[in-house]
């Protein structure tokens, strides 16, 4: 039995800002002297998010190869590991952005097995304000219906519903969005947020102090639609080592990112989240592209400071076939390959569709 440790489950669609919020919140709590541990989660194995957390000095363990609900045993083991190693006051657990039904498959098992107290457990769902606006206005989200179903179900089971990235909306647009959100989800605590800094994250930390912040009723969810939605998404993960030749490694990486994004756009592939993490052992930078980013900032900071060898981790979550996304990366590698310019070694590479969700436990009693 875990006594007083807070467990904050963080759900929400791909690219909605979960990792950014957890990093900002962890930094704010650590600055107050609290101990924080993070559990990350994904269908893939080499995760930008886990690596990025650790580069930010935030202790993180990962449940990989499937979502928390389908790997409850691994989730529980990670919780035990982090409890023993760090003795945290607070644990944040970020579920993969294509996962829903967290109340029945994670929150309820935590209670049933007396791993956590109800009053110390919260569930927040993050939404990107720009996508939520389109959704609530009845516009067309850039995904197929089954994928949109996942987005809806995640919102449906939110305890705290975070309308994130509100800095990207004009004040009157935001006011209208918050009115619509409150009308549509009158039973939820709706929290407009900017997750980017340890100052702007404070309203979320304050909300987490309240207890019972999850919708206590498990979802009435169709696994057929949810599973189909997951399978319409494709994952491409790779780790590349880029070594300077006649061209600096950083310049090659910059060109490569531009080429990948251009091909994805030319093929009109809906992007859940395209994440790149660059590291030369001293410096690091995460570069992201999500739906709604009309003018994405793909620029690498201070190109002159990067060392001669850069490791590039790629996590692409898009709506197309696994062959199509793999082909794009392979085309870009082939097109940019010139042995004189740089040496590029593909350390790992895989493309796949998430498996059909099959939870370890599901406590569906209302």
Options 2, 5, 6, 49; binder of Mg ion; rule CB under 5 A: 49
Residues 5 to 34 in contact with Mg ion, rule: CB under 5 A: 18-19
Separation CA 135–CA 332 (nearest Å): 34
Angle of the 129-136 helix axis to the 171-184 helix axis, nearest 10: 60
292 binds ligand GTP (CB under 6 A): no
Give the per-residue SS3 of 175-216: HHHHHHHHHHCCCCEEEEECCCCCCCCHHHHHHHHCCCECCC
Candidate list 30, 55, 86, 168; residue touching ligand GTP; CB under 6 A = 168
In Å, how far are 113, 318, 319, 351 from 142, measured between CA atoms?
40, 11, 9, 22
137 binds ligand GTP (CB under 6 A): no
**Contact of residue 173 among ligand GTP, Mg ion, none (CB under 5-8 Å per partner type):** none
Residue nearest ligand GTP (C-beta atom): 97
Work out which of 29, 290, 316, 332 binds ligand GTP, going by CB under 6 A.
290
Nearest CB to ligand GTP, comparing residues 232 and 344: 232
Pick what 290 binds: ligand GTP, Mg ion, none; C-beta below 5 to 8 Å, kind-dependent.
Answer: ligand GTP
SS3 153: helix
Spatial distance between the Cα atoms of 259 and 262, rounded to a whole number of angstroms: 5
Among positions 71, 195, 213, 291, the unique one binding ligand GTP when judged by CB under 6 A: 195
Question: CB-wise, 49 or 115, nearer to Mg ion?
Answer: 49
Measured from the CB of residue 75, what is the shortest distance to Mg ion in angstroms? 16
Interface pick for ligand GTP out of 51, 133, 165, 341 (rule CB under 6 A): 165
What distance in Å separates the CA atoms of residue 366 and residue 346, rounded to the nearest whole number? Answer: 49
d(CA 366, CA 359): 18
Residue 162 interacts with which of Mg ion, ligand GTP, none, CB < 5 to 8 Å by class: none
Choose, by CB under 6 A, the member of 5, 14, 110, 344 that binds ligand GTP: 14
3-state secondary structure of 276: strand
Which DSSP symbol is given to 363? Answer: -
- How far is 31 from 35, CA to CA, in rounded Å? 10
Q: Should residue 273 be labelled a site residue for ligand GTP when binding is judged by CB under 6 A?
A: yes
Does residue number 20 form part of the binding site for ligand GTP (CB under 6 A)? yes
* Subset of residues 310 to 339 that bind ligand GTP, contact rule: CB under 6 A: 317
Provide, rounded to whole angstroms, the least separation between the CB of residue 364 and ligand GTP: 25
Tokens of 348: 């790992």
Q: How far is the CB of 315 from Mg ion (least distance, A)?
A: 9
CA pair distance 258, 91, nearest whole angstrom = 36
φ/ψ of 68, rounded to 5, equals -55, -45
Q: Which of 6, 8, 11, 16 binds ligand GTP (CB under 6 A)?
A: 16
285 near Mg ion (CB under 5 A): no
- The verdict on 237 binding Mg ion (CB under 5 A) reads no
**Residue 205 or 364: which CB sits closer to ligand GTP?**
205
**In contact, 177 and 133? CB cutoff 8 Å:** yes
Question: Given the complex with ligand GTP, which of 17 and 248 has the nearer CB atom?
Answer: 17
Count the neighbouring beta carbons within 10 Å of the beta carbon of residue 314: 20
> Contact at 8 Å (CB) between 100 and 355?
no
Tokens representing 141 are: 């989200």
Residues that bind ligand GTP (CB under 6 A): 12, 14-20, 49, 97, 126, 164-165, 167-168, 194-196, 273, 288, 290, 317
């Amino acid at each position: 039995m875990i006594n007083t440790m807070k467990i904050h489950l963080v759900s929400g669609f791909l690219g909605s800002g979960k990792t950014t919020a957890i990093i900002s919140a962890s930094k704010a709590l650590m600055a107050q002297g609290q101990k924080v541990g993070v559990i990350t989660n994904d269908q893939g194995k080499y995760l930008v998010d886990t690596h990025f957390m650790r580069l930010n000095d935030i202790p993180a363990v990962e449940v990989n190869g499937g979502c928390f609900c389908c790997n409850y045993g691994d989730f529980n083991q990670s919780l035990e590991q982090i409890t023993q190693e760090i003795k945290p006051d607070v644990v944040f657990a970020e579920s993969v952005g294509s996962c829903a039904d967290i109340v029945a498959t994670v929150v309820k098992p935590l209670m049933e097995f007396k791993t956590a107290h109800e009053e110390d457990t919260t569930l927040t769902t993050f939404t990107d304000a720009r996508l939520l606006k389109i959704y609530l206005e009845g516009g067309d989200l850039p995904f197929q219906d089954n994928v949109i179903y996942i987005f809806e179900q995640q919102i449906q089971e939110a305890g705290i519903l975070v309308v994130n990235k509100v800095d990207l909306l004009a004040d009157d647009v935001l006011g209208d969005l918050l009115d619509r959100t409150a009308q549509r989800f009158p039973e939820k605590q709706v929290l407009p947020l900017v997750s980017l800094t340890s100052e702007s994250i404070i309203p979320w930390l304050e909300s987490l102090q309240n207890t019972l912040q999850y919708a206590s009723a498990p979802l009435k969810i169709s696994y057929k639609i949810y599973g189909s939605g997951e399978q319409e998404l494709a994952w491409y993960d790779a780790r590349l080592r880029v070594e300077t030749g006649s061209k600096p490694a950083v310049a090659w990486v910059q060109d490569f990112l531009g080429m990948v994004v251009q091909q994805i756009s030319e093929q009109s592939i809906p992007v859940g989240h395209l994440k790149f993490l660059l590291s030369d052992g001293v410096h690091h930078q995460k570069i992201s592209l999500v739906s709604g980013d009309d003018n994405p900032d793909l620029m690498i900071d201070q190109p002159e400071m990067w060392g001669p060898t850069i490791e590039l981790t790629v996590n692409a979550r898009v709506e197309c076939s696994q062959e199509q996304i793999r082909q794009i990366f392979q085309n870009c590698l082939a097109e940019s390959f010139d042995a004189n310019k740089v040496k590029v070694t593909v350390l790992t590479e895989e493309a796949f569709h998430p498996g059909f969700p099959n939870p370890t436990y599901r406590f569906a009693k209302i």
